[in-house]
Structure 1
Amino acid sequence: MTDNIDVRTPRIALSTSSVYPETTSSAFELAGRLGYDGIELMVGIDPVSTDIDAVEKLRDYHELPVVSVHAPCLLISQRTWGTDNWAKLERSAAAAKQLDADVVVVHPPFRWQRDYARDFVPKLRDLTDRTGVRFCLENMYPWRMRGTELKAYLPEWDPTQLAYDDLTLDFSHASTAGQQSLELAKSWGDRLGHVHLTDGTGSMKDEHLVPGRGDQHADRTLQYLAGTGYSGHVVLEVNSRRSATRAQREIDLAESLAFARLHLEAGTARTSYQVDSTGVASHT
């Protein structure tokens, strides 16, 4: 059975982390020149990312909206904006409001952050309700060492069976966890509020490859999302540190944008495409 579905193509944004070791300023410049629809601000990658007034000026100068803010919850940003994790989330919500972004991306607490993890799910829901900013919890993955799986996150690295209202789907994290992004998207349904578009090969390392270069069937997943009316943002979050030159980084970012547009548009085109029961678009 197929259905014609009338939906708009989601906006495709560039995470500022995708240009590292270049800066937040470089991310705005590249995103604007390559034709991205917006920016996700990764707080903590460089000093400018923590200065929201400066980011606001970059947004206005490049005329490129900030669609989401990634809270400073990585290992490398544990001390960014202080060490009180709930205060950091409050500050992330304030940054999102100042920048007119509607999503804050957050990771689950690390296992050693037991006070922060206590009642984390209902507290995160309350924060969303109170601030009006959608906090989308990101799927993570188990840490493996010498054949042993370590419990790195509380209450769990996989949010599927937990009572989060809003989730971020990261394709690379799904790959590292031995999961499939398409199956997660189907399982989460309306709870899926945000996407980190990338890829992986199932390595224990979180690879963040250019989409289409891994095992996550990123093309089919994007078609499924667009064809079923996904209304959140699609944010490219790749590791471009392997790029030997800036020119190669630009090629990879341009390829990723073209890939995302191709498959999102295939999923949303209502006249020349139909969507089957699995969400995959086919030409009619």
Structure 2
Amino acid sequence: MAPLVGLSTASVYPESTAHAFAHAARLGYDAVEVMVGMDSLSQQVSALKQLSRHHAMPVCAVHAPCLLVTQRVWGSDPWGKLERSAEMALEVGADVVVVHPPFRWQKDYAREFVWGIQGLEDATGIAFAVENMYPWRASSRRGIEVYSPGWDPSEESYANATVDLSHAATAHSDPLAMVKRLGKRLRHLHLTDGSGSAKDEHLVPGRGNQPAAELLGHLADTGFEGHIVVEINTRRSGTVAQRTVDLKDSLQFVRDHFVTEVVR
């Protein structure tokens, strides 16, 4: 099976979750990844099901509310957030929950995280794809480790992982090497780009220095069957028209580069 090419609702911010479904349907995406956040629609199963039906646009993944800015969404208990994310995924027909590793100050959560994720997968049948993150740094100097058990999911025993190319750029790590280390454990890709600055940029793929095209070619050649989700920052697009161009260009990038070696 060819992977679904999805659009993250985060890619249209400051437009709403509803706008993300409309953009995805109009531009020809296969699915949507819902970032559960401050937009109330992103927290409501009934609203998401209605949007999915209206636009004939399935939900392939739910991104749990684990950003700093969403620490109070669905309460403060991190396990409760993941349980609600799995419930939402089951209700809307998604098979993946994207989750970040714990912050180091979440000591109890971090201590139980690896085996706790496995337990949730066993109990729900949902793939909890742990995402690569990055050290925090104010410049090009050495970063501060803020995630526990660590920001690189390939170093842990997770059954499923997400690789984000912008996060790899910020971490100064090689996303293609990470993908190869993960092998079949790679369940989900956040297709984006970055320049290697201290800022998590989420550029349109092809506009940074990450090996996005080579990585897509590798996934095509190795029979990747997970999700490829465009997660870019369009806040600086300026207009809805330019945002649409950026979303369209990102989708075309997948179509151009997720091709097998035989075709190339």
* Local SS of the residue matching 1:83: coil
Letter in structure 1 aligned against 2:82:
L
What is the match of residue 253 of structure 2? 259
> Mind listing any 5+ residue stretches in structure 2 that lack a counterpart?
none
* Matched-pair contact (CA < 8 Å) for 1:96–1:102: yes
Deviation at 1:145, TM superposition (A): 3.2
Deviation at 1:148, TM superposition (A): 4.5
Letter in structure 2 aligned against 1:35:
G
Letter in structure 1 aligned against 2:133:
M
Residues of 1 paired with 2:25 and 2:163: CA distance? 24
> Structure 1 residues 16, 45: CA separation in 2 closer, same or farther (over 3 Å shift)?
farther
> Which of residues 90, 101, 109 in structure 2 aligns to 1:108?
101
What is the match of residue 218 of structure 2? 224
* Matched-pair contact (CA < 8 Å) for 1:17–1:45: no
Letter in structure 1 aligned against 2:51:
L
Residues of 2 paired with 1:159 and 1:10: CA distance? 21
Q: Please state if 1:179 is matched with 2:188.
A: no
* Matched-pair contact (CA < 8 Å) for 1:208–1:238: yes
Residues of 2 paired with 1:248 and 1:227: CA distance? 33
Q: Please state if 1:25 is matched with 2:18.
A: yes
Q: Please state if 1:63 is matched with 2:56.
A: yes
Aligned pairs (5 A) from 1:86-165 = 86-145=79-138, 147-165=141-159
> Structure 1 residues 96, 188: CA separation in 2 closer, same or farther (over 3 Å shift)?
same
Residues of 2 paired with 1:237 and 1:51: CA distance? 21
* Matched-pair contact (CA < 8 Å) for 1:169–1:196: yes
TM-score, structure 1 as length reference: 0.90
TM-score, structure 2 as length reference: 0.97
Residues of 1 paired with 2:182 and 2:116: CA distance? 20
* Local SS of the residue matching 2:34: strand
* Matched-pair contact (CA < 8 Å) for 2:165–2:193: yes
> Mind listing any 5+ residue stretches in structure 1 that lack a counterpart?
1-7, 268-272, 275-280
* Local SS of the residue matching 2:154: coil
> Structure 1 residues 229, 45: CA separation in 2 closer, same or farther (over 3 Å shift)?
farther
Residues of 2 paired with 1:195 and 1:149: CA distance? 24
Q: Where has structure 1 moved over 3 Å in runs of 4 or more?
A: 145-148
